[in-house]
Structure 1
Amino acid sequence: MNIIFVEPHFPRNQREFPRALAAVGANVIGIGETPWDYLDDELKSWMVHYEQVGSVTDRYQMTETVRRIQGMVWVDKLESTIEAHQMVAAQVREDLGIPGTSVRTTWLCRDKPSMKDALRAAGVPTAVSTGADNAEQVWEFARQVGYPLIVKPRDAAGAAGTSRVDNDTQLTAALESMGGYDSIAVEEFVEGHEGFYDTITIDGQIVTDFASHYFPGILEAMRTRWISPMFIATNRVEGGGLYDEIREMGHRVNQALGITTSATHMEWFHGPKGLKFSEIGARPPGVGCWDLYNAANDMDVYRAWAEAIVHGRVTQTPSRSHSAGIVALRPDHDGQIKGYSGLEEIENRYGRWIIDAHIPHAGTGTQPIEAGFMANAWIRMKHPDFDQLKAMLDDVGRTVHVYAG
C-alpha cells in the first residue's frame, strides 16, 4: 500500500507515524516543508520518496504535488495528524479521488458551532452554543443565555484563543482581543470535571480507546502560572459507570460526524448537568499523549494506528496495567531558566515510577504558559493505581520549582 504522509519531520513525534506505517508494510511517501538534506537517516529510511513544498497548508501546492506523485505510483491513502493540516489534506483527497476522511467530516470536526449543531441533532448532550460573524450576534447570545460564557475562534484547537467571560466588561475585552478572527464560537460555560477520550476507529467502529483526566480544567491550567497542571490517562476504563457513558457518547459522535477510519481526540465535561461533549479532532491528541498510552498499556499505539490505516484491523490490546500522566513545571517568571529545586528529592522518592522528563538547562529561554503542558519543564510518570499516581504528580508539582528571570 502506498501512503502519503503529510509533514513527517515536525514536531518531533511526527516521525513516529511514518515509522509505524513502514513497520506494518506500507510504502511511505512524505510531503513536508523541511528540505530532504535536513532529515536524519532514520527518518529517511522509513520513506520510499519525499517531496518538499513551501507550505503543507497551501491547497494548490499540495494538490499539484500529490497529482505529480499519482503520475508515478498509485496512491492508496493520504494521511495527516496535525489539526492545521487536516482541511487541506481532506480537500486534496476529494480533489484527486483518494479515500479517507471527507471534507464534510473534517469541517464538522473543526468548526465548533457546526459540530455541536450536528451532535445536538443526533441527541449528543453539548453546551448551548452558536457561531457568530460579528460582535452584535455574540451580545445577543449573551443576553439570551447569560454568563459565564466561553468565546473562541470557530476552528481553534484545544484552548487556543479561548476566553471565559463572566460579565459585560470581560466580553468586551474578549471581543476586542479576537478582532482578527473572521468568525467566533460562543457557548455556555459548563461546570464540571474535564477530560478527554481518544480512539482508533475503523469503518466507524471504535476498536481501541483511552480516557484521560485534566487537573485542573484546561482553560485554568493554561492561564494560571502558579499551577503545575497535569493530565492522567486512567487504567480504569473497563470499570463501567462514567466510562461506559463516555464510550457510548464517543460512538454516537463518530456516527453523527461520519468518522470512518481515523484516530480521534474528544474532549468532555462531567458535572452537575451530567456528561457533556465538548469537541473532537479527527486526529491523534497532541502533547505526547500516545507516548503515555504506550507506557501505561504495554503497546505501540502508533503501530496500532498504522495497522488500522493499512490493514483495517488492530492486533494489539491495551493491557491497562498502569495509569500514566504528565505534570507541567512552570518557571516563576518569563525570561531564561536559572535553575531548579526539588528534582533530587523527587528522584529519590519516585524514581522507579518516572517514565521520562524534560528539564531544560540553565540559560534556556522560557515559553509562555499558554503554550501548553510541554512548553517548558515536565515530568511523566506511571503507577498501577490511578489515585496513587495523582498524589505523586501533585507532590511533584508542589516540590519542584523552576526559577527564571
Structure 2
Amino acid sequence: MILADSAEVPVRNVVFVAPFPMPATLRFAAGIRSLKDVRLIGLFQQPPAEMSGWDWLHIVPDALDPDVLTHALQALTQKFGKIHHVAGILENIQEPLAIARQRLGIEGTDLQTATRFRDKGVMKDHLRAHGVPCARHARLRNEQDAWEFVRQVGFPIVIKPPSGAGAKATWRVRDAEELRGALSSLRPSPQNEILAEEFLRGREFSFETITLNNRPVFTSISRYLPTPLEVLENPWIQWVCLLPRDVSGPEYRDAHALGQRVIDVMRPGFAVTHMEWFRREDGSLAVGEIAMRPPGASISAMTGLVHDVDFHRAWARCAVDHQFDGPWERKFSAGVAFLRGQGRGRVAAVRGVDEAQRLMGQHVVEAKLPVVGAPKADGYEGDGYVVVRHPDTAVVERALETLIQTVQVVYA
C-alpha cells in the first residue's frame, strides 16, 4: 500500500529492510526519509507501529531469507522500476541483503565483504593474516577441538557462534567443568560449528567510523564500563557506556592508528562501522571484532549528541548518497546508564528516580524508565536507560555514577 502521496516522482527507490521495525531501527529509516529525491520503501515482517513517512510498505514472511528478499525486490522493481539502494542496519541481515543485491545487480556491499564482517572466524583469520592483533581463535567441530584449543591458550576462553553479534551470544568458560557443560549444551559438529576465542583481559572500548570508498572520513571512540561480557555474567550490574569529549590526545593515538589499519584491511566500502577493541593489561591493543553496521547500545544517538548532529541521517548520507557532511566538532561528552537490578521476575518498582532527578536531572537528554509489570530483560542493556550530556567529561562521569548508585530496579 502507498502511504504517502506526492506530486513529484522521487528519483531514487530506496528499500529499508528489517525483520521487526523497532524504534531504534526506525531512527535510521527516518535518516533516509530526510534525504532528497527518495522514495522510501519499507520491507518488514510486520508493519511499523507508526505508518506515516513511508511511500510503500512490503510485508514478507521472513526478512532474513535471501530467497524471500530476492522475490520481494523483484516485485518492487516491477512496481517502481529500478531499485537504487537496499539498506539495513542489523548485523544478521547483512549477508542476506548482499545475496539479494548480487542476484539482482543492485549496487551495494557484496557477499564476500559481508561475510568477512559477519563471520567472526573469517574476520579474525583475515585480520591476523594482515598482522592486526586480535584474539587467537579456533572453529570447534567436535569436543576434541575444544580441548586442543584450551591446551594452546589456557583458561578462560570465550565461546560464541561464528555469526554472533557482540557479547549477547558470548560465554566465558573458566575451567574444565564449565567447558564440559558448554560442550554438552552446544554440541559442536561439522554442521554446528562453534567459535572459541582467547579471552582478552583489559579495558574495552569501541571505535566507530563513517567510511567512504574504504577511507574513514569520521571516527569516534567510546568506553565500556565494565565490559559487556562482565555485565552479562553479573545481572545486577548497571552497565555504562561513555563518550569522552576529547579523544584526540596521546592516550588514544594508537587506537586511531589501529582503527585505520583495520579499515584498510577489512575494506567496508561505503559504510558506518563499529569496532570493539581492548587495551590489555600490558598496554597493548587488540581487536575484539568489527561490524559493518552502526553501533547499538545508544552509541549511535550519543555520537550525534556529542557532535550536535543527526547521526542517523549521517548514516543515510553515507549508505545512500555516499557523502559525509563533515568535519564535525566534538562539542560534548555523553554517556548512557542501563537500568536493571538483582533478582528475577517482573519489574515491581523503580526506586530513586526522584532523587536522581534532583541530583543530576539537568544533564539528562533522553530517558526510558523500566515499565512496572514488564518481565526482566535478558541483555546487558537492561530494562531502561538514561542518557546524559555535558561539555565536561567529568560532569558526565559523575552524573552516570549518581544514576547507577541512586536508581534501583526491583523485581518480583
TM range (shorter): over 0.9
Query: How big is each residue's C-alpha offset from its partner over 1:169-223, in whole Å with a ceiling of 9 and x where there is no partner?
Result: 1211222232378111111111110011111111001112221111111100122
2:285 counterpart of 1:275: yes
Q: What letter is aligned with 1:48?
A: D
Q: Which moved more, 1:193-202 or 1:354-363?
A: 354-363
Name the residue aligned to 1:216. 226
2:407 corresponds in structure 1 to 400
1:181-220 to 2 correspondence within 5 Å?
182-220=192-230
SS at match of 2:187: coil
**2:166 matched to which residue of 1?**
158
Alignment pair present for 1:10 and 2:21: yes
Which stretch has the larger CA shift, 166-175 or 244-253?
A: 244-253
The question of whether the paired residues in 1 share the 8 Å contact of 2:228 and 2:380 is answered with: no
Is the Cα contact below 8 Å between 1:204 and 1:258 reproduced in 2? Answer: yes
Cα offsets for 1:136-181 (capped at 9, x unmatched): 1111111122122111111111112311122211211222232378
2:3 corresponds in structure 1 to none
Gaps of at least 5 residues in structure 2 are 1-11
State the partner residue of 1:299: 309
In the other structure, the counterpart of 2:377 is: 367
1:264 matched to which residue of 2? Answer: 273
Q: Is the CA contact 1:9–1:39 (under 8 Å) kept in the aligned structure 2?
A: no
CA displacement at 1:8 relative to structure 2:
8.2
Name stretches of at least 5 consecutive residues in structure 1 with no aligned partner.
none
State the match for 2:133 in structure 1.
Answer: 125
AA in 2 matched with 1:244: R
Counterpart in 2 of 1:344?
Answer: 354
Is the 1:3–1:28 contact (alpha carbons within 8 Å) kept by the matching residues of 2? yes
- What whole-Å deviation, never above 9, does each CA across 1:347-394 have from its counterpart, x for those lacking one? 1111111112222343232223xx231x30321111222233223212
Residues 136 and 197, structure 2, Cα contact 8 Å, conserved in 1: yes
Q: Distance in 1 between matches of 2:209 and 2:26?
A: 20
In structure 2, the partner of 1:51 is 58
Indicate yes or no: 2:144 matched with 1:136: yes
- Determine helix, strand or coil for the equivalent of 2:293: coil
Displacement of 1:86: 1.2
| Aligned residue identity for 1:147 | F
- Extract structure 1 runs of 4+ deviating beyond 3 A: none
Match of 1:251 in 2: 260
How far apart, in 2, do the equivalents of 1:325 and 1:177 lie?
37
2 CA distance for matches of 1:352 and 1:7? 35
Match of 1:22 in 2: 33
Could you tell me which amino acid in structure 2 is paired with residue 29 of structure 1? I
In the TM superposition, 1:17-96 aligns within 5 A as 17-25=28-36, 26-35=38-47, 39-42=49-52, 45=53, 47-71=54-78, 72-96=80-104
Q: Residue 39 of structure 1: CA displacement? A: 4.4
Cα distance in 2 between the residues matched to 1:116 and 1:360: 37
Q: 5 Å matches for 1:77-116?
A: 77-116=85-124
Change (3 A) 1:113 1:380: same
Do the aligned residues in 1 keep the contact of 2:339 with 2:370 (CA within 8 Å)? no
Give the Cα separation in 2 of the matches to 1:110 and 1:264: 12
Q: CA deviation at 1:124?
A: 0.9
- How many equivalent residue pairs? 396
Match of 2:7 in 1: none
Contact in 2 for aligned 1:5/1:31 (Cα 8 Å): yes
Secondary structure class of the residue paired with 2:399: helix
Point out the more displaced range, 378-387 or 196-205: 378-387
Of the structure 1 ranges 139-148 and 379-388, higher mean CA displacement relative to structure 2 is found in 379-388
Question: Does the residue aligned with 2:205 lie in a helix, a strand or coil?
Answer: strand
Q: Is the 8 A contact 2:137 2:198 kept in 1?
A: yes
Shift of 1:126: 0.8
Aligned counterparts of 2:237 and 2:51: Cα–Cα separation in 1: 40
Equivalent residue letter for 1:101: T
Structure 2 CA distance, aligned partners of 1:355 and 1:317?
24
CA distance in 2, matches of 1:254, 1:318: 20
Please, what is the CA RMSD of the aligned residues? 1.8
Q: CA deviation at 1:50?
A: 2.1
Give the Cα separation in 1 of the matches to 2:281 and 2:214.
31
**Residues of 1 paired with 2:220 and 2:29: CA distance?**
22
SS in 2 for 1:363: coil
TM-score by length of structure 2 reads: 0.91
Distance 1:277 1:394 in 2: 28
Q: Alpha-carbon deviations, 1:265-322, whole Å to 9, x = none?
A: 1100002340101101111112322111222221001111112223322114433111
Give the structure-1-normalised TM-score: 0.93
**What is the alpha-carbon distance in structure 1 between the residues aligned to residue 29 and residue 372 of structure 2?**
34
